[in-house]
Amino acid sequence: MHIHILGICGTFMGGIAALAKAAGHRVTGCDANVYPPMSTQLEAQGIELIEGFGVEQLDLEPDVFVIGNVVSRGNPLMEEILNRGLAYVSGPQWLAENVLRDKWVLAVAGTHGKTTTSSMLAWVLEYAGLAPGFLIGGVPENFGVSARLPGAPRQESSGASPFFVMEADEYDTAFFDKRSKFVHYHPRTTVLNNLEFDHADIFHDLAAIETQFHHLVRTVPGNGLLVVNGREDSLDRVLKRGCWTPVERFGSEPGWQIGDVAQDGSFEVLLNGQLQGRVQWELLGEHNRMNALAVLAAARHVGVPVEVGIAALGVFRNVKRRMEVRGTVNGITVYDDFAHHPTAIDTTVAGLRAKVGRARILAVLEPRSNTMKLGVMKAALPGSLHDADHVFCYGANLGWDAAEALRPLGAKATTCDDLGALVEAIAAEARPGDHVLVMSNGGFGGIHQKLLDRFA
C-alpha cells in the first residue's frame, strides 16, 4: 500500500509514518514546515517529504491519503482530494485498522503525563521481555524513537508481541471527525491519569471533555481493565456515566498507593495497604510517583509481576523535554520541559524545588498552547509559579497582557515581547548555582542554546 500523509511532521503523524514504513508500506508525506528534527528522522527512514500542500501531489497516486488534524477545509490539496472523490482517512483510523487491529492495546489518557506514563509503561513491558510496539508523543530515552512495531517476546521462539502501548490523546481526530483520537484505539488496558480543562480551542468546558472520556470508557471491554486516578472527581463523574470494565484505582485507598518517600526520591509502593517494594529512581515529584503507580497496575494486567515492574522503573530514563538538562555553564544549569498547562507548570517547578532545595530557580515560560494563547488559564499562572525565585515570560503573540496576568508575583516577574531582550534579562539575573527552567510546548526560538551561549 502507498499512503501519502498530509501533516506528516507532527509527532503523532510522523510516528504513523514510521510504523507504516516499518510494516512494508510505501510512505510519502507533506507539511507546511518540513524541517529538522522530524524531517531528518523521516528522510533517514526513506520517507519522501514534500514542502507545502500543492495539488501536484495528486500525481503520486497513493492508495489512500492519511489526513492529520492540522489540515482544514480550504487546504488546496485537501480540496482537490474531496473534489475528485479520492480515498482519505484520518491518522487514528488508519492506525486502528492497519496496526492496532488484533493487538492488546494499552492506552494512557489524561490531561497531564501521557507521554511520560506511556513511555514508562512501554519500558516496563520491554524490560519484562514482552517487546511491545508503541506510539508516543515524545522520544523515550530508553528507546531513542517515538514509535515502533511490536517485536518478538523473549518467552517465544517466533511471532510478534501482541502488546501495543498508545499515548491516547483527547484532541480531535480530523476536520471531518471531531471525536477524540483515543476513541479509535479500542484498548483493553486503559489508564485514566487525570482530567482537567484544556484545549479551549475545541472544548467549551470540562464537561465536554468528560463526555469524550466517557466515550473512551465505553470502548474498553469487560475483560479489560481501567486504571483510574482515585484523587480526581472528574474521573469519578466519568465512571458514574457508565462503566462495564473492572477498575483499579491509584492514589487512594483501596488501591495502589505511595508509601514512604525518602529524601533521595525513592518511594514505597503499596497495594491495598500491603508493601510491594520500593522504587529507586531519579525522577522527581509526586506526579511521577502517581504515574509509576498507574504503570505498575497496567503492566500487572498483562502479566508483569509487580517486583519486575519496580525493577524496570529503577532503570527508566525519562522522555526528552521532560526536565531534560540541556547544559551547565559557569555553574548555571538550563533545563527544558514541555509543561504548558498551569497544573503541569506547578508540578514541574515543585519537582525541581524538591531536587535543588534552596538553590534559586529561574522559571522561563512561553504560553504557546492554543489554550494559553486564548488566555483561559492566565489567572492560574501566578499560583503555578509560586515555587520559582524569578519568573520570565515571553509575551509575544498573545491575546492578553502577560505582565498584567503575572502582576500578583510582584517584582519577581519579568515579561518581554522580544526573544533577544528576554535572553538578556535572564542573563542579567542568573548567577552560579542557579537553575533555569524553560517551559514550552514548542521550540521557543532555540532559547535553551541561546542562554547557554550567553552564560559562557
Choose between 386 and 41: higher pLDDT: 386
Stretch(es) of the chain classified as CATH 3.90.190.20: 324-455
The stretch 265-291 carries a mean pLDDT of 92
Return the C-alpha cell found at 306: 509487580
Stretch(es) of the chain classified as CATH 3.40.1190.10: 102-314
Q: Residue 200: pLDDT band by 50, 70, 90 thresholds?
A: low
The stretch 413-438 carries a mean pLDDT of 94
Give pLDDT, residue 138. Answer: 80
Query: Is the confidence at residue 37, as pLDDT, over 70?
Result: no
Cα separation, 5 vs 7, whole angstroms: 6
Residue (of 124, 126, 111) closest to 167 by Cα position: 111
Give pLDDT, residue 35. Answer: 66
Stretch(es) of the chain classified as CATH 3.40.50.720: 2-90
Give pLDDT, residue 90. Answer: 97
Give pLDDT, residue 286. Answer: 87
Cα separation, 130 vs 153, whole angstroms: 5
Query: Is the confidence at residue 36, as pLDDT, over 70?
Result: no
Q: What is the CA radius of gyration of the chain?
A: 22
Query: Is the confidence at residue 374, as pLDDT, over 80?
Result: no
- The amino acid occupying position 102 is D
Give pLDDT, residue 242. Answer: 96
Query: Is the confidence at residue 98, as pLDDT, over 90?
Result: yes
Q: Residue 157: pLDDT band by 50, 70, 90 thresholds?
A: low
Query: Is the confidence at residue 403, as pLDDT, over 70?
Result: yes
Cα separation, 152 vs 150, whole angstroms: 7
Give pLDDT, residue 324. Answer: 84
pTM: 0.79
The stretch 40-64 carries a mean pLDDT of 93
* Beta bridge pairs of residue 6: 30, 67
Return the C-alpha cell found at 112: 497531564
- The HSE-up count of residue 362 (CA atoms within 13 Å, CB side) is 23
Query: Is the confidence at residue 40, as pLDDT, over 60?
Result: yes
Query: Is the confidence at residue 320, as pLDDT, over 70?
Result: no
Query: Is the confidence at residue 245, as pLDDT, over 90?
Result: yes
Query: Is the confidence at residue 438, as pLDDT, over 60?
Result: yes
Query: Is the confidence at residue 125, as pLDDT, over 60?
Result: yes
**CATH of 2-90 among 3.90.1150.10, 3.40.50.300, 3.40.50.720, 3.40.250.10:** 3.40.50.720
Return the C-alpha cell found at 452: 547557554
**CATH of 102-314 among 3.40.1190.10, 2.60.120.10, 3.40.50.970, 3.30.540.10:** 3.40.1190.10
Percent residues over pLDDT 70 in the chain: 97
Asked if CATH classification 3.20.20.70 holds for the domain at 324-455, the reply, yes or no, is: no
Note whether 174 and 202 are within 8 A (CB). Answer: no
Which range is least confidently modeled, 76-80, 110-114, 419-423?
Answer: 110-114
Q: What is the CB neighbour count within 10 angstroms for residue 328?
A: 14
Percent residues over pLDDT 90 in the chain: 69
Give pLDDT, residue 81. Answer: 98
Give pLDDT, residue 156. Answer: 61
Q: Residue 132: pLDDT band by 50, 70, 90 thresholds?
A: very high
Choose between 85 and 370: higher pLDDT: 85
Which range is least confidently modeled, 147-156, 200-209, 237-246, 353-362?
Answer: 200-209
